[in-house]
Amino acid sequence: MTAAVGRRGPALALAAAVRAGEVSAADVVEEHLAAIAGCDGELHAFLVVLADEARAAAAAVDRQVAAGEDPGPLAGVPIALKDNLCTRGIPTTCSSRILEGWKPPYDATVVERVRAAGAVAIGKTNLDEFAMGSSTENSAFGPTRNPHDPSRVPGGSSGGSAAAVASGMAPLALGSDTGGSIRQPAALCGVVGMKPTYGAVSRYGLVAFASSLDQIGPFARTVADAALLFDVIGGHDDRDSTSLDRPAPRCSSRLDDGVGGVRIGVLRELVEGEGMDPEVRGRIREAAEALAGAGASVEEVSVPELRYALPAYYLLAPAEASSNLARYDGVRYGLRVDGPDVGAMNAATRAAGFGPEVKRRIMLGTYALSAGYYDAYYGQAQKIRTLIIGALDSAYGRVDILLGATTPTTAFALGDKVDDPLAMYLNDVCTIPSNLAGHPAVSVPFGTDGLGLPVGAQLMAPALEEGLLFQVAAVLEGAAPALGLPRVAAATLGSGGRAGGEDS
Amino acid sequence: MSGTWEPVIGLEVHCELKTATKLFCGCRNAFGDEPNTNVCPVCLGLPGSLPVLNEGAVELAMRIGTALHCEIRPSVFHRKNYFYPDMPKDYQVSQYDAPINVGGRLELPDGSTVGIERAHLEEDTGKTGHIGGEGGRIHGAAHSLVDYNRAGVPLVEIVSRPDIFSAAQARLYAGELRAILVASGSSDGRMEEGSMRVDANVSVRPAGRAELGTRCEIKNLNSLHSLARAIEHEIGRQVALIESGERVVQQTRHWDEDQGRTVTLRSKEEAFDYRYFPEPDLVPLSPSADWVADVARSMGPMPADRRRKLTELLGEAAGGRTDQIVGVVEKDLEGLVEAAVAAGIGPALALARTANEASANPDGAREVDPISYVTILRLEQEGLLSATQAKSVLATLLDHGKESAALVAKLGEKGTPAEIAARLGFEALGDDSTARLVSDAVEANPGEWARYLEGEAKLAGFFTGIVMKASKGKANGKVVAAELERLKG
């Protein structure tokens, strides 16, 4: 157990050590299972820990290494999977009662790809039911807590994945981002979280929330790890018709290219906007200065059309969700509550199986698509989407990257916003524009507020500019103030200094 | 009542495409397999699964569009949302306001033309079976079983304009459409297996008025016969309602074949709000101009084209023989007519024998050796076989199908036609014996003969009849006529 730090350090270093035969994948897995045993009682990031499967997978990696084969760029690296990603033979719940007992007969494409790259799936993480929420409090199986302050939320909907990575229970995790569900919890938990260009990562096997907005993306403690994981999961997939016809990305190679000559636009609406915490605003201003100091040209940019993003999103996403979630009717799989006829059985099943937020969105979406209302709601929201794409495109005519906050505030207390859906929805105000536009964006930890809670700086880029995005993110990460150790974390997590520091 | 009311009918026809696999996944598209064996995560709509469009289905849809003279356009898939247990996703992927085929026409054998509104692509649902109820109906059933083999099978829905004005014309339309689906290789068009399903929109209006009446949609039409019956019944029902001072209420009605009537299924108020919106899991479909052109080039002629071609070939002989022409094309036998005419057989004879004798045994006729077929027709035309004999020989020939060439070859190249006929089992009367029978007839009927000589030409038929009777039909009418002329001097 001499390389304890390395094993929990960044995925890159872990994989290198495993590939070189310096550390066994088996030891790495045990280390992380121990971390889960130590932390997850308090955090509840995992819905299921795949101890046996992970041990078997690690053993297979070690056999490959012993046989002189290369298990791949993520050799032996434990990875946590958001529980809306299908895993063959392993329950996939979406944190909903309605999927009770359902085991997918297939793996999501991203699950296949991380396994093929040598990663070891260590568990399925908690989320807001069907990814609808910003705090992970909408889970049917209880909330996840923020490792930096367990009385606070980790953000959502991928709160389990964010908390798992922040606390050192896994060096990598996958999440999904429909309106900010990767970036917002990444910001609140002090880790890197990235949403790719729509179509850059296959959605096959991601249980749909809002199909035209959903993207799978990486969580990691360093920009380099996030880029590596994105490189592994990206690229065309024949099983997803919206998957872009492009080869696998190679963002990892651009991390040292710096920001000399890169034009950064500080996005006024995501810094000065209504409800923006002054401390968060301060950190983003500092981030802008840091990039300028590193050689980027920095200017202010305003895209006033973004004020329409949130209302448009809350029509489009529920509309698609109302259709995507129709299939949970008790006929074929999951929960069934019997009734005197099929219609009554459908209704009873859905009444019992869905939580209040899911029901609220199904009703919103059903209404938005109804005859006579379609043009006023869904149709109008699509026009706003087009408007926002155009407005961002014209901003990108002047700058290469936009910088703003990921969230208006740092992590809030559990229970704070559960009774106020609108306040909860406002948490996504900074992240939603990228989903509507289909553009990539990343949240990078950049300092804390006065309570020591992490602040996330968000970088946004035009479609398919993930390379530049990671390149700038790496510079931002290098300039970021040290982030304190999470209060709940694996014992050895902090040995390398701030989260994201290299092991040594 | 008739004459004062005009029925107006539009048909919606769903046809299953003859692809190897389903519309959005690689599962087999097959009828009659063990339930729930041709299924996968995609066609079962399992969480996380995504559709991938089958290019072959698009091509068949384009073939249908081309055959119906539609414009093939860039199209978009929509979701049609409603709950039904045999629909795995509780929405159907269909096309809504941007269908692949728009604005065509179908020419019917009676010369009328019916406009085509659209022909769009969509996925089929599964099938529900009800156990323990009466006759498989849901009422009183103890439980239901769903077979998802059909879920995701590609369909094209062909919507006609309200250009049909009688039950007979509706039947003609459905029959012609079926012929086109089969001819274009797009579908089996089997109504009894459900690979072609017809719904009828029926309304009536005072004759001469342009405005349409309130329509009812009739479902559950499982054969062309049911289609015509149901429409007849529905027209009567609507006219009776109006004439008794009531109004037709817009609704969907179910055809009850046993009772011979339509019954209410649901009213307009109970109609589903399908909440259509663009299917976000699929990208818009935009067939290239090259692809559209390739499809058009690869299409064989459609029935209407073939009828036109056959009519031209027949020239004057086509007059008044529309039914025979339709029948020959329907059975795919115009090749025999063409072969015969090319070999110098009169068009009327070529059509008659093909429409009657050959059509009576279409399987044999499709396999028969055309040269042998023409040989028999020539024997008849040259008077060496009587019509009765020729029909009989043809029947034998058609029964032999593929071996027909061998059968005729066995007759040998040599020998007079009479010898050939004899070898086929027929004793054609030689000219000498015919002449003897003619003179016998003349001698036995001196009065008639005298009147014939005085110019009563129709008595030729009288003598021919006697000769035919005496020869048991073996005499050749032309030889009889020639002999009568000769005796007349």
Bridge partners, A220 (sequence order): A172, A192
| Cβ–Cβ contact A388 with B under 8 A | no
pLDDT values of chain B reduced to their tens digit, one per residue, 489 residues: 445 899 999 999 999 999 999 999 999 999 889 999 999 999 999 999 999 999 999 999 999 999 999 999 999 999 999 999 999 999 999 999 999 999 999 999 988 999 999 999 999 999 988 877 665 566 667 788 999 999 999 999 999 999 999 999 999 999 999 999 999 999 999 888 889 999 999 999 999 899 999 999 999 898 999 999 999 999 999 999 999 999 999 999 999 989 999 999 888 777 789 999 999 999 999 999 999 999 999 998 999 999 999 999 999 988 888 889 999 998 899 999 999 999 999 999 999 999 999 999 988 898 888 888 898 898 889 887 788 878 888 887 887 777 767 666 655 444 555 566 666 655 555 667 788 888 889 988 989 998 998 888 888 889 988 888 888 777 777 788 888 888 887
DSSP secondary structure of A424-481: HHGGGTTTHHHHHHT--EEEEEEEE-TTS-EEEEEEE-STT-HHHHHHHHHHHHHHSP
pLDDT at A502: 40
Tokens, residue B195: 């690979």
Task: Count chain A–chain B contacts defined by CB atoms under 8 A.
Answer: 98
- The answer to whether residue A417 is catalytic is no
Tokens, residue A422: 């609108």
Bridge partners, A152 (sequence order): A413
> Rounded to whole angstroms, how far apart are CA atoms A424 and A451?
21
| Cβ–Cβ contact A344 with B under 8 A | no
Among the listed residues A135, A161, A181, A322, the single catalytic one is A181
Residue A470: closest CA among A193, A216, A267: A193
Q: Who's near B53: CB < 8 A, 6+ residues apart?
A: A241, B23, B24, B77, B282, B285
Which of B45, B146, B283 lies nearest to residue A242, judging by beta carbons?
Answer: B283
> Rounded to whole angstroms, how far apart are CA atoms A384 and A428?
17
- Number of Cβ within a 10 Å radius of residue B235: 22
Q: Which helix (H) or strand (E) holds A293?
A: helix A278-293
> Rounded to whole angstroms, how far apart are CA atoms B8 and B215?
9
Among the listed residues A82, A124, A195, A417, the single catalytic one is A82
> Rounded to whole angstroms, how far apart are CA atoms A38 and A165?
14
Q: In the block, which residue shows the tokens 């990892």?
A: A252
pLDDT at A1: 34
> Rounded to whole angstroms, how far apart are CA atoms A53 and B15?
48
Bridge partners, B15 (sequence order): B156, B196
> Rounded to whole angstroms, how far apart are CA atoms A449 and A278?
9
Half-sphere exposure at residue B239, Cβ-oriented, CA atoms within 13 angstroms: 17
Length, in residues, of chain A: 504
- Is the domain covering B431-488 a CATH 1.10.1740.10 domain? no
**Is A430 within 8 Å of A458 (Cβ atoms)?**
yes
Among the listed residues A157, A176, A202, A243, the single catalytic one is A157
Bridge partners, A405 (sequence order): A457
A 313-342 residues with CB < 8 A to B? 319-320, 322-323, 326-327, 329, 331-333, 342
User: How far B52 CA sits from the closest chain A CA (Å)?
Assistant: 6
Which of A105, A320, A326 lies nearest to residue B41, judging by beta carbons?
Answer: A105
Residue A140 sits at φ, ψ, to 5 deg, of: -70, -15
- The answer to whether residue A82 is catalytic is yes
Coil, helix or strand for A192? strand
Under an 8 A CB cutoff, do B81 and A374 touch? Answer: no
Chain B residues touching residue A211 (CB < 8 angstroms): 280-281
What ranges do the domains of chain B cover? Answer: 5-296, 303-423, 431-488
Under an 8 A CB cutoff, do A331 and B85 touch? Answer: yes
Chain A residues touching residue B280 (CB < 8 angstroms): 210-212, 242, 320
CA angle A120, A122, A128 (to 5 degrees): 130
pLDDT at A498: 35
| Cβ–Cβ contact A378 with B under 8 A | yes
User: How far B112 CA sits from the closest chain A CA (Å)?
Assistant: 37
DSSP secondary structure of A92-121: --TT-GGGTT---SS--HHHHHHHHTT-EE
CA dihedral A246, A249, A254, A255 (to 10 degrees): 150
Under an 8 A CB cutoff, do B52 and A370 touch? Answer: no
pLDDT at A79: 98
Under an 8 A CB cutoff, do B79 and A323 touch? Answer: yes
Q: Alpha helix locations (H) across B5-134?
A: 55-67
Residues of chain A with pLDDT under 50: 1-9, 496-504
Bridge partners, A3 (sequence order): none
**Is A476 within 8 Å of A459 (Cβ atoms)?**
yes
Q: In the block, which residue shows the tokens 């059985």?
A: A345
Under an 8 A CB cutoff, do B41 and A106 touch? Answer: yes
Residue-wise pLDDT tens digits, A365-406: 999 999 889 999 999 999 999 999 999 999 999 999 999 999
Q: In the block, which residue shows the tokens 């992380």?
A: A32
Which of A102, A239, A370 lies nearest to residue B52, judging by beta carbons?
Answer: A239
pLDDT at B480: 85
Which of A204, A210, A212 lies nearest to residue B50, judging by beta carbons?
Answer: A204
> Rounded to whole angstroms, how far apart are CA atoms B157 and B160?
10
**Is A226 within 8 Å of A442 (Cβ atoms)?**
yes
Residue B279: closest CA among B45, B440, B7: B45
Tokens, residue A77: 């690296």
User: How far A206 CA sits from the closest chain B CA (Å)?
Assistant: 5
DSSP symbol at A498: S
- Please give the residue of chain A at the shortest CA–CA distance from B144: A342
Under an 8 A CB cutoff, do B47 and A331 touch? Answer: no
Which of A241, A320, A323 lies nearest to residue B51, judging by beta carbons?
Answer: A241
Coil, helix or strand for A32? helix
> Rounded to whole angstroms, how far apart are CA atoms B100 and A113?
36
Which of B51, B90, B276 lies nearest to residue A329, judging by beta carbons?
Answer: B90
> Rounded to whole angstroms, how far apart are CA atoms A429 and A274?
10
Q: Does this complex have an ipTM over 0.85?
A: yes
Q: Which helix (H) or strand (E) holds A62?
A: helix A51-66
Under an 8 A CB cutoff, do B45 and A212 touch? Answer: no
Chain A residues touching residue B51 (CB < 8 angstroms): 241
- The answer to whether residue A359 is catalytic is no
Which of B49, B51, B273 lies nearest to residue A371, judging by beta carbons?
Answer: B273
Chain A residues touching residue B46 (CB < 8 angstroms): 104-106, 333
A 391-420 residues with CB < 8 A to B? none
Residue A383: closest CA among A435, A305, A323: A305
Under an 8 A CB cutoff, do A329 and B280 touch? Answer: no
Tokens, residue A395: 């901003």
User: How far A197 CA sits from the closest chain B CA (Å)?
Assistant: 16
User: How far B284 CA sits from the closest chain A CA (Å)?
Assistant: 10
Cis omega before residue A157 (within 30°)? yes
Residue-wise pLDDT tens digits, B251-283: 999 999 899 999 998 887 777 899 999 999 999
Residues B432, B434, B439, B444: is their CA dihedral positive or negative? positive
Tokens, residue B109: 């054998």
Under an 8 A CB cutoff, do A85 and B48 touch? Answer: yes
Which of A94, A210, A241 lies nearest to residue B283, judging by beta carbons?
Answer: A241
pLDDT at B16: 97
- Please give the residue of chain B at the shortest CA–CA distance from A202: B50
Specify whether the backbone of A478 is left (phi greater than 0), alpha (psi in -120 to 50) or beta.
alpha
Under an 8 A CB cutoff, do B50 and A370 touch? Answer: no
Q: Alpha helix locations (H) across B252-411?
A: 289-298, 303-314, 322-330, 334-342, 347-353, 359-360, 362-367, 370-381, 387-400, 404-410
- Please give the residue of chain B at the shortest CA–CA distance from A86: B48
Coil, helix or strand for A12? helix
Which of A84, A108, A241 lies nearest to residue B281, judging by beta carbons?
Answer: A241
> Rounded to whole angstroms, how far apart are CA atoms A8 and A14?
7
Tokens, residue A20: 């070189």
Coil, helix or strand for B264? strand
- Please give the residue of chain B at the shortest CA–CA distance from A206: B48
Chain A residues touching residue B89 (CB < 8 angstroms): 326-327
Q: How far is CA A373 from CA A315, A365, A378, B107, B230, in A?
A: 11, 11, 8, 40, 37
Under an 8 A CB cutoff, do A374 and B48 touch? Answer: no
- Please give the residue of chain B at the shortest CA–CA distance from A93: B47
Angle between helices B303-314 and B322-330 (to 10 degrees): 130
Residue A399: closest CA among A305, A467, A298, A476: A298
> Rounded to whole angstroms, how far apart are CA atoms B438 and A400?
108
Residue-wise pLDDT tens digits, A248-272: 999 999 999 999 999 999 999 999 9
Q: How far is CA B44 from CA A214, B126, B146, B149, B280, in A?
A: 21, 9, 11, 9, 18
| SS3 readout for B442-489 | HHHCHHHHHHHHCCCCCHHHHHHHHHHHHCCCCCCHHHHHHHHHHHHC
Q: How far is CA A89 from CA A77, A92, A101, A121, B264, in A?
A: 21, 9, 11, 13, 47
pLDDT at B425: 56
Q: Which helix (H) or strand (E) holds A311?
A: helix A309-324
Under an 8 A CB cutoff, do A342 and B88 touch? Answer: no
Q: How far is CA B109 from CA B309, B333, B468, in A?
A: 13, 16, 38
Length, in residues, of chain B: 489
Chain B residues touching residue A329 (CB < 8 angstroms): 83, 85, 90
C-alpha B253: how far from chain center: 26
pLDDT at B435: 82
Tokens, residue B28: 């087999």
The letter for the amino acid at B322 is T
A 181-240 residues with CB < 8 A to B? 203-208, 210-212, 238-240
Under an 8 A CB cutoff, do B47 and A92 touch? Answer: yes
> Rounded to whole angstroms, how far apart are CA atoms A205 and A87?
8
pLDDT at A500: 38
| Cβ–Cβ contact A367 with B under 8 A | no
